Amino acid sequence: MPLASKPVGRRERNKQLKRERIMAAASELFAERGVDEVTTQEIADKADIGAGTLFLYAKTKGELLLLVQNSLYAEALVQGKQAAEGITDPLDAVMAIVRPVVECNRKQVDNGRTYLREIVFGDPAEPHHREALGLTIQTEEAIVAVLLRDDRTAPDAATLAHIVSAIMFVAMAPTINSANPVDDVVQEIRAQVRVILPV
Amino acid sequence: MPLASKPVGRRERNKQLKRERIMAAASELFAERGVDEVTTQEIADKADIGAGTLFLYAKTKGELLLLVQNSLYAEALVQGKQAAEGITDPLDAVMAIVRPVVECNRKQVDNGRTYLREIVFGDPAEPHHREALGLTIQTEEAIVAVLLRDDRTAPDAATLAHIVSAIMFVAMAPTINSANPVDDVVQEIRAQVRVILPV
DNA sequence: GTGGAAGAATGACCGCGCTCAGTACTGATC
DNA sequence: GATCAGTACTGAGCGCGGTCATTCTTCCAC
């Protein structure tokens, strides 16, 4: 047996395994049937744990969704940042960041919308929520980076980025827009962003 | 007995009375203790109707809140429109419309935030929801009216007004901002609106 | 090994919003 | 009045997310 550099006992290992099983179970069930059509009991069963145990790992069902969706969002963000690098026009560059986020959010509309709801109305003290907030901040920072290239937008870059966030939210979240395809949503956002960037 | 121009029977009258009792009961209880701390059972009891009857008059608890808050919102909107009339500076005029809405929304923070959540994520087919959407549209129209006075903002007035809506929502709704006093929220909105109005 | 403190897991249970099969009421028709 | 179709009302009950007293597990001290 190699030197045990860390005191990782059975206990810690089991917890980690459970965490993974929960994540996997929730991830699959949510993707298959949507967050509203899945009960926490089903998730617990699929993860092979008791109903109450689930809530030791995520305080609410919403937190569970945040856990799952955060990783998708993180990927989309990386993708968007890369895409924006090669684009000089500010509007196009901003939209290069926006598009993957919208796409990822619309992969399963109900989950995406519930995710947004959870971010805005959930408990910011919860760990997965904090992570989600971190991602939105990073998104705004990516937009700021783009805007800073341009002297005209530079002074208000942070404020503008925050406004873009708001525009995105109100384009994606409402029930009224839930049937809109990705391209329509992106177009709606673009039309608004265009207006707030100086000519 | 004066001529009975309308066939208003006991039935119709009773329904109307119940509607009023429900509205009054929900209104009081929500204002006193906040929507989350009131059960539908309590509202039904206070309105002196069966628990199930309540849902013949409002399909969900959320609809009940919309019913109550809509009338407050409507008042705030009228007030804001009037205030904006006497103000020439576009930014100040827009903010004159915004402020009463924020004030009314913050009268009871939890109710206000839940109201916003319901507007965005609720069922737009429900009658009280439609009314709420109508009010947000009217708010945007009031802002449009202000922007149309200025030739520089006129072409994009509708889009700009929609963006102001989004800014307002993201300033008022998030849990993170729920402790902010009215003035802070208004200031936060102003700072953003300032940036999107041409200089 | 043995004892026992600390922590993790459990599932019966609770309170909630909401439903629906059954009941009561209304008012038109004779 | 009596009959009856249509409508409104009711409250027991359901399914859900979430809790908590209890049980089980780990691991350290000796």
Q: What is the pLDDT of residues A67-126, one digit of tens each?
A: 999 999 999 999 999 999 999 999 999 999 999 999 999 999 999 999 999 999 999 999
**Per-residue flag: A11 CB under 7 A of strand D:** yes
A82-CA/D17-C1' distance, Å: 40
Residue A186 has pLDDT above 60, yes or no: yes
Segment B172-189 shows an average pLDDT of: 98
CA distance, residue B67 to nearest chain A CA (Å): 18
Q: Which residues of A touch B (CB under 8 A)?
A: 113, 117, 120-124, 133, 156, 159-160, 162-163, 165-167, 169-170, 173-176, 191-192, 195-196
Q: In which band, very low, low, confident or very high, does the pLDDT at B11 lie, cut at 50, 70 and 90?
A: confident
Q: 0.85 exceeded by the pTM?
A: yes
Q: What is the CA radius of gyration of chain A?
A: 19
Contact B170 A165 (CB under 8 A): yes
What's the pLDDT score for residue A23?
97
Q: Which residues of B touch A175 (CB under 8 A)?
A: 120-124
Residue A132 has pLDDT above 90, yes or no: yes
Report the C-alpha gap between B89 and B91 in whole angstroms.
6
What's the pLDDT score for residue B199?
78
Segment A38-45 shows an average pLDDT of: 98
Higher pLDDT, A11 or A73: A73
Residue B5 has pLDDT above 80, yes or no: no
Q: In which band, very low, low, confident or very high, does the pLDDT at A11 lie, cut at 50, 70 and 90?
A: confident
What's the pLDDT score for residue B72?
97
Nucleotide nearest to B40 (CA to C1'): C17
Report the C-alpha gap between A42 and A30 in whole angstroms.
11
Q: In which band, very low, low, confident or very high, does the pLDDT at A2 lie, cut at 50, 70 and 90?
A: very low
CA distance, residue A85 to nearest chain B CA (Å): 25
Among the partner residues A167, A173, A196, nearest to B121 by beta-carbon distance? A173
Segment A3-7 shows an average pLDDT of: 43
Specify the DSSP class assigned to residue B155.
G
Q: What separation in angstroms does the CA of A183 have from each of A6, A85, A135, A187, B67?
A: 50, 22, 23, 6, 34
Report the C-alpha gap between B177 and A5 in whole angstroms.
44
**Per-residue flag: A12 CB under 7 A of strand D:** yes
Determine the residue type at B51: A
Mean pLDDT lowest among A9-18, A47-56, A95-104, B84-93: A9-18
Q: Which residues of A touch B176 (CB under 8 A)?
A: 124, 133
**Per-residue flag: A55 CB under 7 A of strand D:** yes
Q: Which residues of A touch B162 (CB under 8 A)?
A: 170, 192
Residue with tokens 């809109």: A180
What's the pLDDT score for residue A13?
83
CA distance, residue A82 to nearest chain B CA (Å): 27
Report the C-alpha gap between A42 and A182 in whole angstroms.
31
What's the pLDDT score for residue A7?
57
Interface mutation vs chain B, best among A123, A160, A170, most B CBs within 10 Å:
A170
Mean pLDDT of chain B: 95
Question: Which two three-digit tokens encode residue B46?
Answer: 């206070």
Contact B169 A167 (CB under 8 A): no
Mean pLDDT of chain A: 95
Report the C-alpha gap between A169 and A143 in whole angstroms.
15
Q: What separation in angstroms does the CA of A21 have from each of A12, A24, A148, A163, B148?
A: 14, 5, 43, 38, 57
Higher pLDDT, A12 or B50: B50
Residue B140 has pLDDT above 50, yes or no: yes
Q: In which band, very low, low, confident or very high, does the pLDDT at A1 lie, cut at 50, 70 and 90?
A: very low
Task: Tell which residue, A28, A59, A174, has the closest CA to residue A105.
Answer: A174
Q: List bases, strand C, within 7 Å of protein CB.
A: 7-13, 15-21, 25-28
Q: In which band, very low, low, confident or very high, does the pLDDT at B3 lie, cut at 50, 70 and 90?
A: very low
Asked if A189 and A95 touch (Cβ cutoff 8 Å), the reply is yes
Three-class secondary structure of residue B123 per DSSP = coil
What's the pLDDT score for residue A12?
82
Contact A192 B163 (CB under 8 A): yes
CA distance, residue A11 to nearest chain B CA (Å): 35
What's the pLDDT score for residue B7?
58
Report the C-alpha gap between A105 and A111 in whole angstroms.
8
